[in-house]
Amino acid sequence: MITVHGAADDGFGPVADAFRENFTEDIEVGAACAVYHRGRLVVDLYAGVADARTNRPWGPQTLAVVFSVGKGLMTLCAYLAHQRGLLDFDAPVVSVWPEFGANGKEQTTIRDLFSHRAGLAALDTDLTLDDLAEWTPVIRAIEEQKPLWQPGTDFAYHALTFGWLTGEVLRRVTGLSPHDLLAEYLTTPLGADAWIGLPAEDEPRVAFHLPRPEVDDPAYEQFVQLAMSMPAVIRALNLGGALPPTLIDGSDQDFNAPAVHALQIPAANAITSAASLARIYAAAVSSVDGRPPLLSAESVADATTLRSSGPGWPGALTRPGIRFGTGFMINGIPYLPLLSGSSFGHDGASGSLGFADADAEIGFGYVNNRFAGSEDGRASRLTAAVRRSLGQ
């Protein structure tokens, strides 16, 4: 029997039940879940093992790599930059990054970058881990790249390039690297633990990710085989050799490696806790510790406006039902329903999830350390429990 630590306030017991169910009826190894409601922490749960190699337990200070959840954090920073008059989503990228316009990209808008519509999901340049650490080589490769389709006319998930595309725009308008931007705009004001580029002293707190279990999952195997048959998909995930396309492969370049944790890979290597993730999203839409919400009503309306959906560019594999606003995943995705049309956030490769709901004033965070297959119901089980707790 799993021991669940932490607490859930009266009325939010369904979330605790669902969290426990993930351990007893699913593949969970270690995980945490937190929920803020109207600015107050009402769920703060953790359980299991943070590192199966040493049997280190998951504790209240445990951190986890949350993969593409970082895209949502970058987008929150972008909306704050927009509110400060530093960023116009509908301006051409070249207005802030002139070198970007080479090879047919001069009409690309900043919103195209955030909405996965830039045609730059994969790059022709082979990059190394050292190139990622230096940042500039990736930027130069993007500048030289010819789009895979006419920007703005179609979409495909920019799994890794999203971080450098949006990160460079934000660097140019704010003067801050992604690491510093996250600290100045979100984590320092909110007292939250989240990094893009983890300090070495916090490395011992990070959970160790396990690959998906070896189970018979024909749907997942078919998906992987199809994805790996598409050259653009492989290059989108490995950048020509810098990273393993499976993300976790036991090498010193995978997302368990401290060297990778220390880099700034804004689309994929954010590290945080469930409580901090929930706190950040709660602060976006509600008053936390007496502060006004970070996002204006106009920003929330823009963030939840559908920008990309449907089959997507045929050279990539678009998950059926995906719905993107500007940078955020929004409600209506069949495999990951959120709360309402005012919900926005982002999930991550291992099943992690952070989102806000403006109508219900909810901030939600869920992190784990185990990859799943095609039928990963852990996050959706938790969001369904939040809906029940709210009487929805």
Which residues are part of the catalytic machinery?
Answer: 68
If phi over 0 gives left and psi between -120 and 50 gives alpha, with beta otherwise, what is residue 264?
A: beta
Q: Nearest Cα to 239, choosing from 117, 106, 120, 373?
A: 120
Q: Does residue 48 contact residue 32 with C-beta atoms inside 8 Å? A: no
Q: What is the DSSP string of 302-326?
A: HHTS--EESS--TTS-PPTT-EESS
Rounded to a whole number of angstroms, the distance between the first and last alpha carbons of the chain is 30
| Contact partners, residue 306, CB within 8 Å, separation at least 6 | 323, 324, 325, 330
Neighbours of 191 (CB within 10 A): 10
And the tokens for 83?
């509110």
Q: What is the DSSP string of 174-221?
A: HS--HHHHHIIIIIHHHT--EESS--GGGGGGBPPPBPPP----HHHH
- Cα 309 to the center of its chain, rounded Å: 18
Q: Does residue 187 contact residue 193 with C-beta atoms inside 8 Å? A: yes
